[in-house]
Chains A and B, each alone.
Chain A
Amino acid sequence: MIRLALGTLRQHRGAYAGTFFAALLAVALLVGGGLLLASVLTAKPPANRFAAAPIVVAGDRDVTLEKVTTKQKKDKSKVKRKVKSERLTGAGSLPVDLAGRLGDLPGVAAAVADVAFPVQASTPDGRPLRGADGAPVIGHGWASAALTPYLLRGGAAPGRGEVVIDADLAQRSGSTVGGRLLVTTKTGVHTMVVSGVAAPAGRNGLPAQGALFVADGEVATVSGLPGPTAVAMLTRPGTDPVALRAAVGQVAGDHEVLTGADRVRADLPGALPDYIGPISIFGFVIGITAFAAVFVLTGTVTLGVRQRLRELALLRTAGATPGQLRRLLGVESLLLAGAAALPGAPLGVLFAHLVAARFQELGAVPAQFVVRTNVLVIVAAAAAGMVVTFVGARVAGRRAVRIAPTQALAETADAPTGGLAPRIAAAVTTTAGAVALLVFVPLDGPLGMGMSFVSSALLLCTVAALGPLLVRALTTPVSRLVGVGGPTGWLAGLVSRAEPRRVAAIAVPLVLMFAINATMLLNSALLGQLAQREQQDRTAAATAQVTAPGGLPLDTVERLVALDGVTGAAATLPTRAIVEQGGKPEDFASQGLLIAGTEAALDLDLRAGTLPGPGAFAASAYVAGQYGWRVGDDVQVWLADGHRVDLRLAGVYARARGFGDLVLPAELVAAHDPRGLVGTVGLRYRGDVPDRIAASWPGLRLAPTLAAAPANDAQNQQGAWELMVVISLGFTAIAVVNTFAIATAARRREFADLRLAGATTGQLHRLVDREAMITVAVGLLLGALVTAIVVGAFSAAQDGTVRVVVDAGTYAGMLGGVAALGLVAGAVPARVLLRRRGLPALGDRR
């Protein structure tokens, strides 16, 4: 049976090749996306700063909440515990005396109070110190050097006003022993002398973090931390690790005791490559690619099966039962997809490496990230590709296999058309899903982009399910328009109207290409525009914005805003804060805010209440709405180091884009954020304030407006987003070309008949071009419709304004690009097919 089917392979080269190609690309995308996600999920920290300390006690690194619900059932009561946690961006500190108590334990050679804090260091001529790949510089007390260990390569341990830096930093910045460095932390700018250069054994520094050691006596003054962020223990040889761990646990109480690979978690979160962002990025990548791959693959398989209806009918005449045909289609699709997986898998590995490299260039993924080739993922992705092909073939063949044997004798085989009911049921379900998402999910929240993508995917499924119906409705007016003039236009209109299924099969990938990519591009452009506008509106009142390359310590800002002539000031410290609802902690971009003077330098568009003073905070309208807060409510807020405070909601503001959802007192943020530096100061002044600022603080920049670069984070997201669109554009474009090629390859006979009826080759070219115009127009109309629904709803959710085009340039570019691709993809295969023979008909009558 299968040999029989493979025997006909030559006859249907087009359909087989198209399905094979689609399966190959689908497997490649699934493998690539799967590998990226798996690699990022299993990414290991590149190095352990506690390598020499077998056991470490850490302060809080996350906020963990337990929700206990008690269910009363007759006489039994059921207690359910749900633990949810959210990672901190800073590190909680430990009691100062803990190191001493741990040091007394038997088997402990030394308990080192480890302090880790981010520093901004630069050479006196202003060159910032960064590690390899822009890694941050982390400050420690000199005692911490023993934990890795860092050994002095030259110079001496730091004394008061001195630092030791790692050899990698020394090399990159050209610093030598005796040189000077400017070290900025939240406690201020410190001028320090390099007393020595140290390095871990065998290398110049640790990957992903540069190390700067200050004298142990000076750690508290430089870092501004109340205690150590971890206590690491060096043990005596022959100590029983299990017993020691138990003993340490007793002393440490609630604090976490870490051993083995877990010890890295005791490091400062900012010192480790952050894989949270990449996980969501790669999750999105695999979501988009998987959807597009499955969508395209099922469409291609369906088209391929439909083109072989005659062959299926012939097999039926030869005595095959529908069951046998079903099995035949199944086995054949598995073989095809299996064969496609062989080149698809290595292509996917290549794809993963290319994408990862590009994301690293954009800074969206840590430079230390490596793509690991995971055989399990590859096998799973290949299996997924095979399953999709298999299911697609079975679904496409479910009616085709019941084809009447007599159809083999008929001029064209036509599968029995199934009832409309399943199509309509599928369409209603997916449409309802899309509408529900658009209506009930707050699209102005963090889920907005993802959910608008999902709803556009659901609407695409609707279009696919209703394809022939929608196409039939649209083809008539469109083909009237396109079909004007000449016999070829007339014929193109007739042929398109007569073949709604073929038009639909080609139009649907065009709809996919336009809708998916236009939705992503327009929504992200909209967010960009809104953020930019809000940024302008927020800062419009200020005469100037003051920034420093690494950030400004709060006390500098306090002196700056107290300058004579400053009439108003607003200083913001970027941070993240966590709030809780229903036992689920969630973190939000936030700002610490310092207000000075009588004139407002920041306009947050307060909707209720006032800007927060001490003991109070303000929330964005979105968060206040989500959490049901009202002005005057007391709310628990966890700061970056896990410190919990109760703050009263003083105000609700609207302009949160590119800013943050919570506004907290600046002092509080400065005390509890490890960085704790002011990002920008908006100023209103009279007189020669700029000159005096330049005189007192030569490193500061004073500009009339803030350059439209809100946060580095957002920029990474934007770049990552664009790259995703590029990937998805590429794949959907290939799908469009592939579908056109398959559909055209099957028309050899039809073209031959037309040639016999007296059509010249030129007329056939024009016919195919006109048909492509009709198909492209139908596809773009449907694509624009899906896009308009999703983008309109997304836009309405943002600020109540329904926009469809958002960005005329992007929209026109998408329209023009998809149209051009569709027209070329329609024209080229037909020309190749027609060039091969003057009259293709006579050779292959059958």
Chain B
Amino acid sequence: MGRRVVRETRLDQAFPMGNSDGTPARGLVVEVLDVTKAYTGGGGVRALDGVSVGFEAGSFCAVMGPSGSGKSTLLHCAAGLDRPDSGRVLLAGQDIGGLREPRLTEARRQRVGFVFQSYNLMESLSVWHNILLPQRLAGVRPDQGWAREVIRRVGLTGREDDRPGRLSGGQRQRVALARALASRPEVIFADEPTGALDLSTGREVLGLLREAVDQTGTTIVMVTHDPAAAAWADRAVFLADGRIVAELADPTAEKVAAQMMAVTVR
């Protein structure tokens, strides 16, 4: 552990994810303000209880917490997949709380990419079509050159015409990551992206996420319960019972594990 790509060089100046002077944008891409969310099932448990958190542009943040701490709910609310009961969510400065369908979907499609534990690929489409799908749905002309570059980076060159059903779990997650990257979102939300993968495959995927942040300046928010995975992030936020209870900068697996213990025992 502890291996870290040093972030002193920005290679991908061609991809305008940063400011015009080439330095990464330091503003907040996602801002969650005093968000509460309760689920009617289970006696009205508050999944989120007044959470406020911001995610900086070009950063890699891990959201940690034990099962039922509300970390997935936070991600869903932040990504506009779910509506908070109260509070506000700003996505690239836009308040998505007031957006109705299909505007919400359009906003998400434009600004957000997803990587989920269960991949969520279209089985009936080839790798290539899966990767271009969000752009097609957005009605924009897909940037095929960039798509090919992304495929090269995730190491799937040559598998473009395969169906996801013929790929391994790690390969599928790479397709999901390539899809998220291909539309150049302002932020990628990853929900337990290594949850279904074995250790080394998981590590490769985390490496690709890290690389996306470092080389492309992508912002990544990753929900995980695995301290080793959190160690790849720049920052770790800890949730318990729907509240943010701790935060770590430059987390290592050991520090995260210790914090998790503390949080869980609480």
Contacts and interface: CB of A to CB of B under 8 A. Distances in A.
B124 A756 contact: no
Interface string B174-187: 00000100010000
A191 interface: no
Given A411-B165, A841-B120, A760 B102 contact: yes
Nearest to A407: B165
B81 interface: yes
Contacts of B172: 411
A410 interface: yes
Interface stretch (A267-275, A490-498, A732-740): A490-498
B134 A758 contact: yes
Contacts of B108: 758
A760 B124 contact: no
B239 to A, nearest CB: 17
B124 A494 contact: yes
Given A761-B102, A838-B101, A842-B76, A412 B123 contact: yes
Interface residues of B, number: 34
A242 interface: no
Given A758-B109, A839-B81, A494 B125 contact: yes
B124 A842 contact: no
Chain A's interface size range is 20 to 34
A410 B164 CA distance: 10
B186 to A, nearest CB: 14
B119 interface: yes
Interface stretch (B12-20, B56-64, B136-144, B204-212): B136-144
A757 B179 contact: yes
A393 B71 CA distance: 43
B238 interface: no
Given A490-B136, A757-B134, A760-B106, A411 B164 contact: yes
Interface centre among B102, B114, B125, B137 (most CB of A within 10 A): B137
A751 to B, nearest CB: 10
A754 interface: yes
Contacts of A846: 118
Interface centre among B106, B121, B133 (most CB of A within 10 A): B133
Contacts of A760: 101-102, 105-106, 137
Contacts of B129: 494
A762 B117 CA distance: 27
Given A494-B124, A757-B134, A758-B134, A414 B165 contact: yes
Given A487-B137, A757-B134, A845 B114 contact: no
A757 B165 contact: no
Contact of B125 (A495, A839, A841): A495
A66 interface: no
Contact of B101 (A494, A758, A761): A761
Contacts of A148: none
A672 B101 CA distance: 83
Contacts of A486: 139
A509 B78 CA distance: 45
Contacts of A429: none
Interface in A741-785: 750, 752-763
A260 B88 CA distance: 92
Interface string B70-107: 00000010000110000000000000000001100110
A499 interface: yes
A486 B76 CA distance: 29
A412 B165 contact: yes
B137 A410 contact: no
B11 interface: no
A760 B108 CA distance: 10
Interface in B155-193: 163-165, 172, 179, 183
A80 B9 CA distance: 104
Contacts of B106: 760
Contacts of A763: 102, 137
Contact of A756 (B101, B120, B138, B183): B120
A308 B192 CA distance: 27
Contacts of B117: 845
Contacts of A410: 165
Given A498-B163, A758-B138, A839-B81, A411 B119 contact: yes
A755 B64 CA distance: 26
Contact of A755 (B105, B119, B123): B105
B232 interface: no
A224 to B, nearest CB: 79
B116 interface: yes
Contacts of A759: 105, 137
Contact of B124 (A499, A755, A761, A762): A499
A758 B134 CA distance: 5
A494 B101 CA distance: 26
A495 to B, nearest CB: 5
B261 interface: no
A752 B118 CA distance: 12
A598 to B, nearest CB: 79
A411 B125 contact: no
Contacts of A839: 81-82
Interface string A308-335: 0000000000000000000000000000
Contact of B102 (A412, A750, A752, A762): A762
A752 B105 CA distance: 12
B160 to A, nearest CB: 14
Nearest to A499: B124
Interface in A190-221: none
* List of 7 A-B pairs having minimum Cβ-Cβ separation, nearest first: A758-B109, A498-B124, A760-B102, A758-B134, A487-B136, A760-B105, A753-B120
17 contacts: A411-B119, A411-B121, A411-B165, A412-B165, A414-B165, A487-B136, A494-B124, A750-B122, A750-B123, A750-B124, A755-B105, A756-B81, A756-B116, A757-B179, A758-B105, A758-B183, A760-B102
